[in-house]
Structure 1
Amino acid sequence: MFRTALRNVFAHKARLLMTVLAVMLGVAFVSGTLVFTNTISGAMEKSSAKGFSHVDVAVTAQRSEDKGNTVGKEAALTDATLKAARDTRGAGSAYGVVSGYAAVADQDGKLVGNGFSTKGGNYWGSSGKPDSRYPLKKGTAPHGADQVALDAKTAQRAGYKVGDQVRMSVDGPVLTPTLTGIFTTDDGNVSAGGSLALFDTPTAQQLFHKPGAYDEIDVTAAAGTSQDRLKSALDKALPTGQTKTTTAQQLADDQAEQISSSMSSMKTMLLVFAGIALFVGIFIIANTFTMLVAQRTKELALMRAVGASRRQVTRSVLLEAFVVGAVAAVAGLAVGIGIGAGMRALMGTTGAIMPDGPLVVSPGTVVAALVVGILITMLAAWLPGRRAAKIPPVAAMNAVHAAPTAKSLVLRNTLGALVSAAGIAAVLYATTLSGDSGQAPMGLGAALLVIGVFILTPLLSRPLIALAAPVLRAFGISGKLARLNSVRNPRRTAATASALMIGLTLITGLTVIAGSVQSAINKMAADSIKADYVVAMSNGNQLSPDVVKTLDKTPGVTAVSGLTNSPARIDGGTEFLTGVNGKTITQLAELPLDSGKFTVGGGQVVVDDKTAKEHDWTTGSTFTTHYEDGKRQKLTVAGVYEANEMMRGIMIDTPTLAPHLSADSGDMQVMLKTSGGASDATKDKLTKALGENPAIQVQDKQDITNQVAQVFTLMLNMLYGLLAMAVIVAVLGVINTLAMSVFERQQEIGMLRAIGIDRKGIKRMVRLESLVISLFGGVLGIGLGVFFGWAAGQLIGNSMSTYELILPWGRMGLFLALAAVVGILAALWPARRAARLNMLDAIKSE
């Protein structure tokens, strides 16, 4: 039986290759995902570990406990704290660290680095020693307000050398310090494409609004002192309740855990698509083994007649599956390693933070690839093998193809109807929920509906394929035979079409959702923003207070308002107050009122409808707010407005809020209106007024929507690339089915040739059959995709008021055309093979 199984594996090389490819692609997807996520996680963890190589214990400020309704404030780390840490027994050295955002422009004025990774700080350590925190490659350490040092990669990318004037900004005016030094660093953000600019400590403290203070104090242990022992000593030496000490080992462990957690969502998403590719692959493998077993029914019956048991027959089929799965798993692992490397390179080109590091192929990845490949193949082959073993030898020798009984068809259709109904019910129930609560029932319902439709596909195939009859008649006898052949074996047609259906369901659903959300955001921007421009930092940080003053004085600007966020204690909980210019905000934002007046000034505020409902406030209600500085004030609700995703919360007049803000507070964004409206000339004028600052973005409404569109386009392109794997597997399935169909119908094809149908007619028949099966799967997939897109949209619409379903008719037509192309391409080889059959040999074959 063992030798027979191996012989059968190699007896059908073409079918074996297609089955191996189907399994290989699924395994490659899984192993590629694991390689990619493990590589990025490993590189980040290694980078973070390097970042803690110059510290044994880190001292940070401790936020004071909230007392009553007072917002807790963070204690400052001062020179006195630094001296106390340095003088602690067991401390070798101690350095104060200052950090913040610093945007560096290249020679053309464009931002270097990558948003949040464009960092600044203070140069610390012994610049002349090889073990310095920032070893100098060229030049000297910065001294004074007009000097800066850059990391080597940033200097190279921006085209700067020692002695050049560096164009940069922190959050205010453009700075042009002299580049005095170029250093090397093991900072992972820098190696991933970010930038690091360092000043001397007083300059950094001044620029980052921390005069005389530090963000962190890094302490190294003296020889013979452990990290834990140093931590205990520092806890005793430093002021109680004002500082927090953490060992470098704990920091590295915490960061590794955070990295692992942040990567888990990406890994889950990628593995979902890997599972889809494998799910599609199961259809093909099951189809292949079903047909292989059907073709060998007489052979298996003869083996049963000469003494082979049912178990031996089943084991023979499973052994074939094991060999195929093992070969495919090894090949898939090799391809997956390549996919992982390619995905890392692709993510780097999109601007994502990808630290340097070796490709990680863990033992777990190898085991997962082998287990997935072998188990999936054996699982898909088990049912056909078991079914073949149950056929009595005499019956098998008399009839190769036994038609399914009426009882089995009724059972299948009943089960499919029940599963589909349960899926539709779960999806409809999910649309009534809001937020995350609807995701689980939505996912469950979608899975049940897809499975239910798959079970019902044989039943659906006849009426849907019958709709193509008028078109197929135009092709004469070839078209008629193609239609009859496509419904001859409904189960096989269903399994083939379902593979394509699943891929197109996901592609269509994602496209519908993305297009509808993009339209909702465009509508939201158009409906809620009256301002011509919105000015903000490129990394989302706070703007300098000088920005709103500069814009207010710019000729042509008719109305301006900054938006400043500040935490406050209200009714025992934390809320955020948004400081706005009460005189101009109504000219810059469209916020429909539910009640009252849009009056912001003095003690009067306006509140969004959701916040008002949470606190049971109405127009005229009063409440006491406890500001960040601990002071309190009674405020009155002048009006309640409708919230949206762009503007919400408690709006208060900036002059009322400003006295209670901390020294480093700034506007999150500035909205402004101009006399000439939005135009390229006006935008250039505003950019020049702000000193052509590389850190600041000046965006009109179209720029805002385009920025969001870029995110969706990038996401969709990545998902299309991932789902292409499932479509490729589906193509292999169509080829496999047609090849098997041609093999089974050799006598029939030979007879057709003998009675006058030429080779072109045979080719046309096979191609049309393939086209009909592919379009059948495409129609089902697009239909399900639209339904899922609508259902997910209902869930999104519960939290996004401007959401409405947008059907991308053009793209859906393109997807249907893609299904047709799949059918045509998949038929090339089987059609050629059918046309080349020798009619006399075919008629004689059994």
Structure 2
Amino acid sequence: MLRTALRNVLAHKARLVMTVLAVCLGVAFISGSLVFADSTTAAYRASLSKDYAGIAVSVEPKSPPGAPAGGRANVLDDALVAKLAAMPGVAAARPVVDGSVTLAAKDGSPMRADNAMGKLAAAYLPGADGKDGRHPLTAGRAPRNGGEVALDRGTAAAGSYSLGDTVTLATDGPVLKMRLVGLVSTHDTRVTSGGTLAVFDKATAQRLFAAPGRYTGIDLSAAPGTSAYELARNADALLPKGRAEAVTATAKAAQQSVFIDTKTSSYSRLPLIFAVVSLFIGSFLIVNTFTMLITRRSREIALLRAIGATRRQVVGSVLAEAALVGLVASALGFVLGLGVATVLPDVLGTADDLLPRGPLVVGPLPVLASLVVGVGVTVLAAWLPSRRAAGIAPVEAMRTAEQPPSAALSRIRGAAGAILLVLGAGLLVSLSGAKDASDENLRTAMLGCGVLVTAVIVLAPLLAGPVMRLLGRLTTRFGVVGDLAKDNALRDPRRTAATAVALMISTALVSGLAVIDHASSRALDSQAAAGLSADYVIGTRNTTTAIDPAAVRRVAALPGVATASAVADSTISTGTFARTVSGVDPRTVGAVMKLRFTSGSATGIGPGRIAVSSSFARENRISTGGRIDASIGPGRGDRSRPYTVVGIYQDNPTAQDVLAYRGDVQQHSYLRDSVQRVLVATDHGTTSPDLAKRLRGAVDDSPLLKVQTRAQLVREQAGTAGDLITLVFGLLAIGVIISALGMVNTLAMSVAERTREIGVLRAIGMDRTGIRRMIRLESLAVAAYGTLLGLTVGLFGAWKVGGLANGAIPQYTFSVPWGTLALVVALSLAVGAAAAALPARRAAALGPLRAVADA
């Protein structure tokens, strides 16, 4: 029986290749997703974590209570370094001056500007030998003054810099120009995994990131026999109380681990979801393949039964064949999955925020998953057809290959499908009153969609008859070949349904996501445009950087600029909640923001007087004229003061949660007296590339800043959702490919099964063109059936699930992208037409006499 199974695998090479390919793609996606998740997590850990090798305790400065936000003064100086170095149990005390600096490439484009953790800066601090072991020079020399800088080799190569070039960079405001005098190497994984590193002389680094003569940290190494905890306790005794603290490297690493786990958790979820979808779709192909294979070999199985093969042996033979196919496909899929894992970072990353790079991490889980999934799914998919084959009596199998389902089984299927349909639809309908996309609502939505899809799958064989008869009215317009195509599709509703369901799942996902993407994009466009009347926005990338005040004045003086209103962005805390606040000039804010006040106005904003958004007022139960205690900037509310509310405006992303007097925000902001945005209204509302270039020149082409038109800002705000949807569409392409393979395989085996019928048709006069047309019409009818089911499920799911966006985007309304859906339908039908090409050619090539003889 094992030899028989092996012979059957090798006897039908085309069928073998298609089945292996289907399993291979599913395995590739799930193994590639696992490898990608492990590799990305490892790369992120490298890019976000400081290497504490050789460090027992890290001494860091603390801001005293009441200190101004953003103050850099600290007590870590050379005297403290000497005291700590002389402490018992200390092997070495190494001072550190580090920070963050944003570099521009040689062409002026920012380098990893949106990755705050990967833009490193440090001081070159030589030891007794005159060399800095943490930043060894590989070319040139170390920087000696404020006009010189060194870069690591990878950063210099990415920015196209050579020794002697002028490097453009910025820390928190003014643009700096420095000459590149040296190249260094580093083992810091935050740099080697895709970050940047700039190295300055000690005095320059202290001026930029600490204070003259001060350090940002002191790393202590423990002597043999001294524990890190003991060393930290002894160091704390020498530190000024409340001004510095000693933390063990183990504790710092644990803090990093929690942050990194949170940061990387999402990267393993999305690919795995679609890996499961791909395998789910592929399982229909495998079930179909083995069902038709058993039907085709029913006479062979009957002969085996007649000469003494038991049911167990027949089942074992088929399962052995499936296991062999699954094993080969798993091996190939795993290799292909490594390619998927290599490509995914390029698909997921953006031009401004590339995913960190690192070697592929291949653990035991992807290998085990490939074998379990590839072999397991294939064997499970073949188990039911093998049981059905073993249950066929030898004489019965010799008479007919078709075993129609019993009426009782059809009634059970119908009842189960109806129950699942009501349950799935009920879960989705229950979301109608949802206010936000909470985890509970998302779980309900996913469960409802899953149950709904399962219901349609269960009901698909019962729906195939009436729907295919309806579609048959179109195929009959092609004459006899159309009638035959309809009858062929109706001959086995289960096979037709299984073939169509694979395409249905892909169509449902694509159409549903297309609707959500279309509606979300329209809502985001409306939201962004509703809050902004300025024609240009010049902004920093976060609240810890600032725009040079001199640059603000240069922008305001440019020809063509009517109003340049500076905005200071920070946070405002009321009790335990922190929200965003915009510090504005009440005289100019009305010219650059579209504010719709439900009470009060922006003109009342001043020292100690604020305007708040509707949601902020609702959460804090406050109205115009009321007073609220709040603190602006970082801290725990120890600087709370009373503010009078002078107006309430409709939620506005440009104004954020609170509008305050700019002086109040600047006084306690992260960077004192700083601004983070300049909203520019031009003469007559005109925008042009020339004006944009002059605006960028006015801010010295700072890599910290973005100069965007209103349209560009809208696209950026929708960018995250848009990139996600684009990724999803790309991942769903695998399902479409498997669907196409399923149709090709089903049609090819259907042709083989109907060899005698095709021979008779050729014998009574049907030409090759008619045969090809019959197969193509059958394929198109099945594709249309799957598309119809997919559109129904996708639109209903998007209608109910999309409502969860209302909490985050009030402007969200259900909207159908008719053009996109028309394209989806056209592509689905094109998949059906393409799937019929090879089977139609094979059927047309059959000669009448040979077909009858070989059948």
If the length of structure 1 is used for normalisation, what is the TM-score?
0.92
Structure 1 equivalent of residue 495 of structure 2 = 492
Q: Which moved more, 1:470-479 or 1:552-561?
A: 552-561
Residue 657 of structure 1, CA deviation:
3.6
Residue segments in structure 2 that go unaligned for 5+ positions in a row: none
Looking at structure 2, the residues matched to 74 and 209 of structure 1 have their Cα atoms a distance apart, in angstroms, of 5
Structure 2 equivalent of residue 829 of structure 1 = 838
SS in 1 for 2:647: strand
Which residue identity is paired with 2:84?
A
Q: Does 1:674 align with 2:678?
A: no
Structure 2 equivalent of residue 237 of structure 1 = 238
Q: Does 1:588 align with 2:597?
A: no
Residue 192 of structure 1, CA deviation:
4.2
Structure 2 equivalent of residue 78 of structure 1 = 76
Alignment partner for residue 715 of structure 1, among 724, 735, 760? Answer: 724
- Taking structure 1 as reference, are residues 559 and 83 closer, same or farther at Cα in structure 2, changes over 3 Å only? farther
Looking at structure 1, the residues matched to 706 and 425 of structure 2 have their Cα atoms a distance apart, in angstroms, of 46
Q: Is the 2:581–2:659 contact (alpha carbons within 8 Å) kept by the matching residues of 1?
A: yes
Over the matched positions of the two proteins, sequence identity in percent amounts to 38
- Taking structure 1 as reference, are residues 75 and 90 closer, same or farther at Cα in structure 2, changes over 3 Å only? farther
Q: Is the 1:148–1:180 contact (alpha carbons within 8 Å) kept by the matching residues of 2?
A: yes
Q: Which moved more, 1:257-266 or 1:32-41?
A: 257-266
Aligned ranges 1:408-557 → 2 under 5 Å: 408-433=409-434, 434-436=436-438, 437-538=440-541, 541-544=544-547, 546=549, 547-557=551-561
Which residue identity is paired with 1:237?
L
Q: Does 1:597 align with 2:606?
A: no
Q: Does 1:562 align with 2:576?
A: no
Residue 268 of structure 1, CA deviation:
1.2
Q: Which moved more, 1:473-482 or 1:192-201?
A: 192-201
Q: Does 1:762 align with 2:771?
A: yes
Residue 18 of structure 1, CA deviation:
1.5
- Taking structure 1 as reference, are residues 643 and 345 closer, same or farther at Cα in structure 2, changes over 3 Å only? closer
Structure 1 equivalent of residue 172 of structure 2 = 171
Q: Is the 1:125–1:134 contact (alpha carbons within 8 Å) kept by the matching residues of 2?
A: no
Alignment partner for residue 626 of structure 2, among 616, 621, 625? Answer: 621
Aligned ranges 1:627-776 → 2 under 5 Å: 630-661=638-669, 664=672, 666-680=674-688, 681-708=690-717, 710-776=719-785
Which residue identity is paired with 1:530?
S
Residues 35-91 of structure 1: CA distance to partner in whole angstroms, max 9, x if unpaired? 222223334445667833463422234577999xx9999994532654543443333
Q: Which moved more, 1:240-249 or 1:675-684?
A: 240-249
Q: Is the 1:596–1:639 contact (alpha carbons within 8 Å) kept by the matching residues of 2?
A: yes
Residue 173 of structure 1, CA deviation:
2.7
SS in 1 for 2:177: coil
Residues 163-206 of structure 1: CA distance to partner in whole angstroms, max 9, x if unpaired? 44323222323222233322122233433443222223332343
Residue 438 of structure 1, CA deviation:
1.4
Q: Which moved more, 1:14-23 or 1:438-447?
A: 14-23
Q: Is the 2:122–2:200 contact (alpha carbons within 8 Å) kept by the matching residues of 1?
A: yes
Residues 358-394 of structure 1: CA distance to partner in whole angstroms, max 9, x if unpaired? 3222222111110111110111111112222233444
Q: Which moved more, 1:108-117 or 1:361-370?
A: 108-117
Looking at structure 2, the residues matched to 126 and 209 of structure 1 have their Cα atoms a distance apart, in angstroms, of 20
- Taking structure 1 as reference, are residues 396 and 63 closer, same or farther at Cα in structure 2, changes over 3 Å only? farther
Residue 347 of structure 1, CA deviation:
5.2
Q: Which moved more, 1:305-314 or 1:426-435?
A: 305-314
Residue 633 of structure 1, CA deviation:
3.0
Residues 77-112 of structure 1: CA distance to partner in whole angstroms, max 9, x if unpaired? 532654543443333433443444423333433323
Q: Which moved more, 1:322-331 or 1:83-92?
A: 83-92
Residue 257 of structure 1, CA deviation:
5.3
Q: Does 1:331 align with 2:332?
A: yes
Q: Is the 2:50–2:190 contact (alpha carbons within 8 Å) kept by the matching residues of 1?
A: no
Structure 1 equivalent of residue 35 of structure 2 = 35
Q: Is the 2:49–2:190 contact (alpha carbons within 8 Å) kept by the matching residues of 1?
A: no
Structure 2 equivalent of residue 578 of structure 1 = 582
Which residue identity is paired with 2:741?
L
Q: Which moved more, 1:440-449 or 1:523-532?
A: 523-532
Q: Is the 2:290–2:385 contact (alpha carbons within 8 Å) kept by the matching residues of 1?
A: yes
Looking at structure 1, the residues matched to 107 and 70 of structure 2 have their Cα atoms a distance apart, in angstroms, of 44
Q: Is the 2:46–2:193 contact (alpha carbons within 8 Å) kept by the matching residues of 1?
A: no
SS in 2 for 1:639: strand
Q: Is the 1:304–1:393 contact (alpha carbons within 8 Å) kept by the matching residues of 2?
A: yes
SS in 2 for 1:167: strand
Residue segments in structure 1 that go unaligned for 5+ positions in a row: none
Q: Is the 2:94–2:218 contact (alpha carbons within 8 Å) kept by the matching residues of 1?
A: yes
Aligned ranges 1:260-299 → 2 under 5 Å: 260-299=261-300
Residues 264-304 of structure 1: CA distance to partner in whole angstroms, max 9, x if unpaired? 31111101111011000110111111111222334434444
Aligned ranges 1:114-263 → 2 under 5 Å: 114-116=113-115, 117-126=118-127, 132-208=133-209, 213-222=214-223, 225=226, 227-252=228-253, 254-256=255-257, 258-263=259-264
- Taking structure 1 as reference, are residues 428 and 82 closer, same or farther at Cα in structure 2, changes over 3 Å only? farther
Q: Which moved more, 1:355-364 or 1:795-804?
A: 355-364
Which residue identity is paired with 2:111?
V
Looking at structure 2, the residues matched to 23 and 169 of structure 1 have their Cα atoms a distance apart, in angstroms, of 52
Residues 385-411 of structure 1: CA distance to partner in whole angstroms, max 9, x if unpaired? 222223344443443212112221122
Which residue identity is paired with 1:468?
L
Q: Which moved more, 1:179-188 or 1:522-531?
A: 179-188
Residue 497 of structure 1, CA deviation:
0.8
Residue 815 of structure 1, CA deviation:
1.7
Q: Is the 2:97–2:217 contact (alpha carbons within 8 Å) kept by the matching residues of 1?
A: yes
Q: Is the 1:301–1:392 contact (alpha carbons within 8 Å) kept by the matching residues of 2?
A: yes
Residue 30 of structure 1, CA deviation:
0.9
Q: Is the 2:503–2:736 contact (alpha carbons within 8 Å) kept by the matching residues of 1?
A: yes
Residues 394-448 of structure 1: CA distance to partner in whole angstroms, max 9, x if unpaired? 4434432121122211221221122122111111212422221310100000001
Structure 1 equivalent of residue 616 of structure 2 = 611
Q: Which moved more, 1:564-573 or 1:576-585?
A: 564-573
Looking at structure 2, the residues matched to 524 and 594 of structure 1 have their Cα atoms a distance apart, in angstroms, of 17
Q: Is the 2:570–2:670 contact (alpha carbons within 8 Å) kept by the matching residues of 1?
A: no
Looking at structure 2, the residues matched to 442 and 821 of structure 1 have their Cα atoms a distance apart, in angstroms, of 31
Which residue identity is paired with 1:618?
S
Alignment partner for residue 806 of structure 2, among 793, 797, 802? Answer: 797
Looking at structure 1, the residues matched to 49 and 583 of structure 2 have their Cα atoms a distance apart, in angstroms, of 41
SS in 2 for 1:175: strand
Looking at structure 1, the residues matched to 348 and 670 of structure 2 have their Cα atoms a distance apart, in angstroms, of 38
Q: Is the 1:64–1:72 contact (alpha carbons within 8 Å) kept by the matching residues of 2?
A: no
Residues 228-272 of structure 1: CA distance to partner in whole angstroms, max 9, x if unpaired? 443343233334554443444554455455444433311111011
Looking at structure 2, the residues matched to 304 and 75 of structure 1 have their Cα atoms a distance apart, in angstroms, of 90
